[in-house]
Amino acid sequence: MKKIVFLHIPKTAGQTVHSELSRIIGKGLTSPVRVHTQASQDRQFPGGYRLYSGHLDWSHLDQIKGDRFVFTVLRDPFERIASFYFYLHHKSLGLDAAALEAPANTGLRKIRTCSVDEYFFGGDGNWQRFILDHYDNFYCAYFATQKIRGAAYLADICSNQIIDRALKGAGKLDRIYTVENLVALERDISRLTNSNIAIAEKRINTGPKTQNTRRWPQLLSQIESDANKAKLADFATRDIKLMQRLKTKGALS
Same domain? For 153 and 35 the reply is no
The verdict on 100 and 219 lying in the same domain is yes
Lowest mean pLDDT among 200-209, 216-225, 231-240: 200-209
Give the Cα separation of 35 and 227 in Å (integer): 34
**In this predicted structure, what is the pLDDT of residue 203?**
56
Q: How many domains does the chain have?
A: 2
Do 128 and 139 fall into the same domain? yes
**Mean pLDDT across the chain:** 94
Residues 85 and 188 in one domain: no
Q: 55 - beta bridge partners?
A: 35
184 and 115, same domain (yes or no): no
Query: How far, in Å, are 6, 11, 15, 22, 121 from residue 54 at the CA level?
Result: 7, 12, 9, 11, 28
- Threshold 0.85, pTM exceeds: yes
Residues 17 and 135 in one domain: no
152 and 217 in a common domain: yes
Pair (84, 47) in one structural domain:
no
Residue 155 lies in a domain: yes
**Mean local confidence (pLDDT), 142-152:** 96
> Is a pLDDT exceeding 80 seen at residue 232?
yes
Q: Give a yes or no: residue 31 inside a domain.
A: yes
Task: Supply the range of the domain harboring residue 132.
Answer: 77-168+208-244
Query: Does 134 share its domain with 178?
Result: no
